[in-house]
Amino acid sequence: MSKTPTSITCLADIEAFEGTPWRDRLTATNTYDLIQRAAAEFADRPALKFLLEGDVDEKPLVVSYRELGARVTQAANLFHSRGVGRDDVVSYILPNLTETHYTIWGGQAAGIVNAINPFLEPETILELLRAAGTKVLVTLAPMPGWSEIWDKVAPIIDAVGTIQTVFQVVPRPVWKGVGAAAGATDGGIPILDFNTAMAEQTADRLVSGRVIVESDIAAYFHTGGTTGTPKLARHSHLNEAFMPMAVALNIQMDEQSVMFCGLPLFHVNAVMVTGVNAFYRGSCVVLLTPLGYRSPKVIANFWKLVEKYRATTFSGVPTLFAKLLGVPTGGADLSSLKYAVCGAAPMPRELIRQFQRVTGVGILEGYGLTEGTCVSSCNPLDGERRVGSIGYRIAYQEMKAVMLDDKGLYLGDCGEDEVGVIAIRGPNIFAGYLQEEANIGLFLDDGWMLTGDLGRCDKDGYFWLTGRAKDVIIRGGHNIDPGLIEEVLALHPAVELAAAVGQLDAYAGELPVAFVALSAGASVESGELEDLARKNITERAAVPVRVEILDQMPVTSVGKIFKPALRCSAAVHALTKALTDAGITVGLEVFDDKQRGMVARVTSDADEAAIGKVLSDFAICWEKA
């Protein structure tokens, strides 16, 4: 057996690490035991530091590991007291608070916890609450002028049909203007104060006496898809207990580490990477205000906050790094910052280079998805980081590119640098969607899960994404179902066909755009269709930035809409506009390359450096004709 490395520098290091069975490396097989072990081992060390405003000189609320363990136990006992058992669901609609962590891990210890995005429209929230079968709901108390969460949630609680108790969170420290908890909904569902009720519970054991087994479902995460209905991904306790051990070589942390959390705690990245992964190592997590990176003050003070809290790492999406590049470091001491992790969407290569050059902070590009419990691959911290690559697979998770036929059936594994659908297999692979119909075609017969992303593996084991086999639009790390757009546009009597795709954007990565073909003899202006979309698409981020009317919709030989052609057309529009706005006249074509993904070919007499300066803001390869 090879000697186990202390960190990854090459694929052989991962294989050496795997010389010991993964079960022998686990410290716990469920998240409750994992947190309680951390509470015992790191008792007096800070687990959480919460900033209310994001000011550099504000005093944070500090939660020790001992207190974290106690509060999680109390939350679990509170939910148990309201009838939550192993298969019952606790849903939460909350910003980033210490109470959010108590709800997540206490909910998993009592039953199943269900994360819901507070920024969704009420109709979508209602649909998710119903799909989950929510028994207990934890949400924010009324906060006039600051948050609209309660205003969204209150009118739909009775309509869910399964909710038996609502807990309102009045965050600590208490915000000014927070409304008092109501006694009950119009339908008679009791509304209780979360912190008050939690404080009355036992803190040293689970009153239920529950023994959590690794196959028990711990969480539901809503994930974007192409079906037009909510898909709830089921994480087992083993999935979430395995993940921090498996990524330990890439995301190096210990009890001296400090991790910034600015991504929302309804997202799997924040819950896993800046949650249980940090707790596994006894690290400190700094919650950068309830709004996280959405807070202008957090962005403005970011480098000073790094200096004050001696942050060692943070994770984000490409839009965050673009924002931070616009904030002068102001001489702040960034020596504590070892690396940053970027995922969720492709990051322009020049943005990576520029960020590293300006800040001196290395960026680890990685790849993951909710169905893989967040992380599937990552560039090595101590080895070669290949810009544009998503790095090596994580330890104990297999990863490969496979060839499928037009029906999605397996034909064989891809060879070196041959593009196919990325497939993954291992203890981190989720337990399937709650809706059985969504699992059709997801798994191969031997346990491999198809991610829907296209990519290749080079001779050294680095993976490279080249596109998507599925249609999801990724706007700033937020997954958008194109079906939401297409269904609305198809309602117009003049529209025969509608297709939505992602259009390249220098800031958000992609923006949704739509293409329509009209029925014979019909007529409509694009502005009318854009108005229709704005009025009827409930998910604001999904509203298309433009609707283009085509003479003919591109289709495949079997009559299906050929979206790759539409993506290329949208890219031509975005890149041409960016170059024109910069005073550069070009001829431009965009095409799909099997090795590189989408490629822009530019014809112009303009200076190549000037062209490159504009196009480097986009996640696309380009070449001059």
Full DSSP string of 115-173? E--TTS-HHHHHHHHHHHTEEEEEEEPPBTTTB-HHHHHGGGHHHHS---EEEEE-PSS
- Specify the pLDDT at position 177: 62
pLDDT at 120: 85
- Sequence-distant (6+) residues with CB within 8 A of 583 are none
Buried b (16+ CB within 10 A) or exposed e, 75-91: bbbbbbebebeeebbbb
pLDDT score, position 612: 84
Phi, psi values for residue 156, rounded to 5°: -110, -5
CA distance 551 to 566: 13
Residue 350 reports pLDDT greater than 90: no
597 against 174, higher pLDDT: 597
- List, in sequence order, every residue forming a beta bridge with 260; answer none if it has no partner: 286, 314
Q: Which of 499, 507, 441, 443 is nearest to 474 (CA)?
A: 507
66 in Cβ contact with 45 (< 8 Å): no
| pLDDT top residue among 286 and 353 | 286
Q: Which pLDDT score, from 0 to 100, does residue 276 have?
A: 95
pLDDT in tens, 124-181: 899 999 999 999 999 999 987 778 899 999 999 999 999 999 999 988 776 666 766 6
Residue 119's pLDDT is: 86
Work out the percent of the chain whose per-residue pLDDT is above 70: 94
The secondary structure of residue 4, as a DSSP letter, is: P
For residue 6, pLDDT over 90 is answered with no
**pLDDT of 286:** 98
The mean pLDDT value for 267-287 works out to 94
Q: To the nearest whole number, what is the mean pLDDT of the chain?
A: 89
Q: Between residues 479 and 448, which one has the greater pLDDT?
A: 448
209: exposed, middle or buried (Cβ count in 10 Å: 0-12, 13-18, 19+): exposed
pLDDT band at 253 (very low <50, low <70, confident <90, very high): confident
Give the H/E segment covering residue 412.
Answer: strand 410-413
Spatial CB neighbours of 562, under 8 Å, sequence gap ≥ 6:
554, 555, 556
Question: What mean pLDDT do residues 90-113 have?
Answer: 98
Say how far apart CA 612 and CA 601 lie, in whole Å: 12
CA dihedral 124, 129, 132, 133 (to 10 degrees): -140
- Give the least confident one: 154-168, 241-255, 453-467, 499-513: 241-255
As a whole number of angstroms, the distance between CA 284 and CA 580 comes to: 47
- The per-residue pLDDT for range 497-525, each reduced to its tens digit, is 888 999 998 888 889 999 998 888 889 99
- 503 vs 572: CA distance, rounded Å: 9
**Residue 227: which pLDDT band, with cuts at 50, 70 and 90?**
very low
- How many whole angstroms separate alpha carbon 99 and alpha carbon 72? 9
Select the more confidently predicted residue: 152 or 597.
152
Instruction: Report whether pLDDT(458) > 60.
Output: yes
pTM here? Answer: 0.82
Which of the two residues, 147 and 282, has the higher pLDDT score? 282
Residue 486 — very low, low, confident or very high, per pLDDT cuts 50/70/90?
confident
Task: Answer whether 593's CB lies under 8 Å from 617's CB.
Answer: no
Looking at residue 176, its pLDDT comes to 65
pLDDT at residue number 1:
40
Question: What's residue 26's pLDDT?
Answer: 94
Residue 325: per-residue pLDDT:
84
pLDDT bracket for residue 225 (50, 70, 90)? very low
CB 122 within 8 A of CB 152: yes
Alpha carbon distance, N-terminus to C-terminus of the chain: 52
pLDDT given for residue 556 in this prediction: 62
The predicted structure's pLDDT at residue 216 = 98
